[in-house]
A and B are shown apart, each in its own frame.
Chain A
Amino acid sequence: MNFKKILSFVAATTLCFSLAGCTKAPANSGNNGDLIKVGIINNDPNESGYRTANDKDMKETFTKENGFDASFAYSLKNDEQIGYAQKFIQDEVDYLLLSAADTAGWDSVLKDAQAAGVKVILFDRTIDADDSLYEASIVSDMAKEGETAVSWLESQNLPEYNIIHIQGVMGSAAQKGRSGALTDTAKAKGWNIVTQQTAEWNAEKAQQIVQSVIDSGKSFNVIYAENDDMAKGAVAALDKANISHGVGKDVIVMGFDCNKWALEELLKKNWNYDGQCNPFQADYIVDIINKLEKGEKLEQKVVVMDEKGFDAATITQDDVNNYGI
């Protein structure tokens, strides 16, 4: 009995050491003189079109030609991401770029990073940690995205506003920001919200919600969908009921995220507006790294990206190519 215990203990320890050895191995191989070493922790690129575009942008920017020695790690799970972060710190990266899966639980590993002299830059997602623990955070301002969209809607000067508001998953940052702007303005301007329901980013649910409004016979002239998928579902319901939509038609269709196919709908004037949620953070990060390398101080910790809103009346093929994700 005792012998077995000892044996298993020995086995476990050897296993631990061999595992540690594995993780340490790449550190020696990648010590390349003047390249800046970055470790990039991202969410799974399969998660959404946004993430795919984001990951592609990162991979295209952090190349050897641009002076970076980059390693990538992906997970949708916070604890796995923390594991990757520890590995990158052991590898002695210069910069740790992080899009956290979850906001909590990052304090201790970021303290380790600080102690090891690794500079941390957050992108896309923020975390619940003291802001002394990271150099900068590059984020989308969802509330501003909503405001841009709503002020565009206001500028259309419709004689009356009857809006179908299709929301994303309740409580998500994108939903809160994009809903907040519309709800506030509708209250202030006396716009009529015909219905306000969550379709949980799901095209089918959006289709049913709009179908239900059509069946009820209520009139509406604006569809404000908080992402492109839901706008597509809404449009499918309109098509079925022979309600015209797009530029100069009965119903204004608004979406978010700037998927390529959605911008193509704008180009065909089937939709009216698409708000950008900018996945291209790499240039901003490079900018910050250059500044830090020169020893300059950053003016602000939180960098909000420029995000556009596209109007079907003015969009061009170039916009579709450049901003479509």
Chain B
Amino acid sequence: MAQIKTAKTNPVSEFFSKLFRNQIFIPIAALLLLAIFNLIADPSFFKITLGYSSDGNPVLSGYIMTILDYGSELAILAIGMTLVTAASGGQDISVGAAIAISGSVVLRVLCGTDSRPETLQAPIIVAFLVSCLVAMAFGAFNGTLVAYFKIQPMVATLILFTAGRSIAAWINNNELPIVSDKVFSYFGGFLPGIPIPTSFFIAVACMIITALVFKFTSLGLYIQSVGINQNSSRLNGLNPEFIKFITYVILGFFVAVAGFIKVSRLSTINYSVVAKDIEMDAILAVALGGNALSGGKFNIGASVLGAYVIQFLTTTLYKLEVSSEALSAYKAIVVIILVVMSAPIVREKLAALIKKIKASSAAKSAN
């Protein structure tokens, strides 16, 4: 906000070129574009109604709420994916499989040996913490391969991508455990008395924690410098291997959080399809946020916004009842446009073009 205010005092062209160069411009522009499209197509898209759930709790519903609800797991993953991308200049493609694993662990701890227990065998918080540990361990595995064995991130994480869902199947002995506990379903649904989806609060909490960590430590700066130039960071006393490693462990934590929400939504898990293709959406969110996929500077807020843009798009397509086979094709077209628009070269050109138009119109009015 402050940035825009100061920009306003500058000449208009300056303001525009600054805006175009700002990283968060692309996700905001995409969001506005989608919003305007929906406003024209059907204004009722933005209608939010207050109803009551079957337990008598107030619940807000409507497309916007749906976006905030279902986009949250992706937003949480996007935070971690941004860090991994920034530090190691590559992406973790195993997050979907890792979600299957951590979700299975949650259910395993909650259910004990019985796949359909009457009462929970362990407190929910314990299940969550165990799944965090497991997911962070798998993150550490990926991180070790990338940081210490210097394997390309995509290749290194391909291992877990391939094996993850089988490991998840093994954790629960191939059964589909079902938890019938009301409290457990709050995390993917609504807390009693609060009409906003819980998953959104969890996403916000994740963002706040990350922001605080970056404010009170230099981790953000370290990650950025390792991503920009590994050797000069080493010369400045940083340990690039360890910083890369730690970003994968952090991503592991966010994977556990996202997995926890996913299992809570249905109170069960189908390890073969849960969070399918979510890694691609998470990478896309990072790209949409204007972060260079080759590492370096990053903006987590932009990635999170990118994640909600993707969910906005998905929800819009569902609303338009785009024929089911064509859904991903439409998505791809929009994605191509957005990604091309967010490429630095295109944005520089665009900024220059606007500048030119402004200049010529200014010249005209002077005449």
Query: A54 interface residue, CB < 8 Å from B?
Result: no
Q: Shortest distance in angstroms between B100's beta carbon and chain A's nearest beta carbon? A: 12
Query: A211 interface residue, CB < 8 Å from B?
Result: yes
Q: Shortest distance in angstroms between B179's beta carbon and chain A's nearest beta carbon? A: 11
Within 8 A of A (CB), among B36-80: 44, 51-54, 59, 61-63, 66, 70
Q: Shortest distance in angstroms between B36's beta carbon and chain A's nearest beta carbon? A: 19
Within 8 A of B (CB), among A26-57: 45-49, 52
Within 8 A of A (CB), among B263-290: 265-266, 268, 270, 272-276
Whole-angstrom CA separation of A192 from B314 in the bound complex: 24
Q: Shortest distance in angstroms between B103's beta carbon and chain A's nearest beta carbon? A: 11
- Among residues of B, the one whose C-beta sits closest to the C-beta of A165 is B324
Whole-angstrom CA separation of A160 from B33 in the bound complex: 39
Query: B134 interface residue, CB < 8 Å from A?
Result: no
Query: A278 interface residue, CB < 8 Å from B?
Result: no
Query: A208 interface residue, CB < 8 Å from B?
Result: yes
Given that A229-B270, A261-B176 are known contacts, is A236 also in contact with B324, CB under 8 Å in the complex?
A: no
The interface-forming segment of B20-28, B156-164, B315-323 is: B315-323
Whole-angstrom CA separation of A165 from B265 in the bound complex: 21
B327 to chain A: which residues have CB within 8 Å?
197
Residue of A52, A170, A212 touching B315 (CB-CB under 8 A):
A212
In the complex, per-residue mask of B306-335: 1 if CB is within 8 Å of any chain A CB, else 0: 000000001100110100110100000000
B273 to chain A: which residues have CB within 8 Å?
200-204, 229
Given that A48-B272, A239-B54 are known contacts, is A197 also in contact with B324, CB under 8 Å in the complex?
A: yes
A198 to chain B: which residues have CB within 8 Å?
324-325
B62 to chain A: which residues have CB within 8 Å?
215
A202 to chain B: which residues have CB within 8 Å?
270, 273, 276
Query: A167 interface residue, CB < 8 Å from B?
Result: yes
A196 to chain B: which residues have CB within 8 Å?
324
Contact B324 A212 (CB under 8 A): no
Within 8 A of A (CB), among B11-37: none
A304 to chain B: which residues have CB within 8 Å?
none
Whole-angstrom CA separation of A207 from B323 in the bound complex: 17
Contact A241 B169 (CB under 8 A): no
Given that A167-B324, A198-B325 are known contacts, is A215 also in contact with B61, CB under 8 Å in the complex?
A: yes
In the complex, per-residue mask of A230-245: 1 if CB is within 8 Å of any chain B CB, else 0: 0011001001111010
Query: B178 interface residue, CB < 8 Å from A?
Result: yes
Q: Which of B265, B319, B321, B324 has the most CB of A within 10 A?
A: B324
Whole-angstrom CA separation of A212 from B66 in the bound complex: 8
B318 to chain A: which residues have CB within 8 Å?
197, 208-209, 212
Residue of A52, A204, A212 touching B262 (CB-CB under 8 A):
A204
Given that A46-B166, A239-B54 are known contacts, is A197 also in contact with B321, CB under 8 Å in the complex?
A: yes
B116 to chain A: which residues have CB within 8 Å?
261
Within 8 A of B (CB), among A181-226: 195-198, 200-204, 207-209, 211-212, 214-217
Contact A208 B319 (CB under 8 A): no
Query: B113 interface residue, CB < 8 Å from A?
Result: no
Whole-angstrom CA separation of A241 from B66 in the bound complex: 11
Contact B265 A207 (CB under 8 A): yes
- Among residues of A, the one whose C-beta sits closest to the C-beta of B315 is A212
- Among residues of B, the one whose C-beta sits closest to the C-beta of A212 is B318
Contact B325 A170 (CB under 8 A): yes
Whole-angstrom CA separation of A49 from B173 in the bound complex: 12
B54 to chain A: which residues have CB within 8 Å?
239, 242, 244
Contact A232 B266 (CB under 8 A): yes
Q: Shortest distance in angstroms between A299's beta carbon and chain B's nearest beta carbon? A: 37
A-B interface, 4 closest residue pairs, ranked by CB to CB distance from nearest: A212-B318, A198-B324, A197-B324, A202-B273
- Between A and B, 21 residue pairs with Cβ closer than 8 Å are A45-B174, A46-B166, A47-B272, A49-B176, A170-B324, A200-B273, A204-B274, A207-B265, A208-B70, A211-B66, A212-B318, A215-B61, A216-B44, A232-B268, A236-B265, A240-B59, A240-B189, A241-B53, A242-B59, A261-B116, A261-B178
With A52-B174, A240-B190 given, name 5 new contacts (CB 8 A): A195-B321, A198-B325, A200-B273, A203-B270, A217-B44
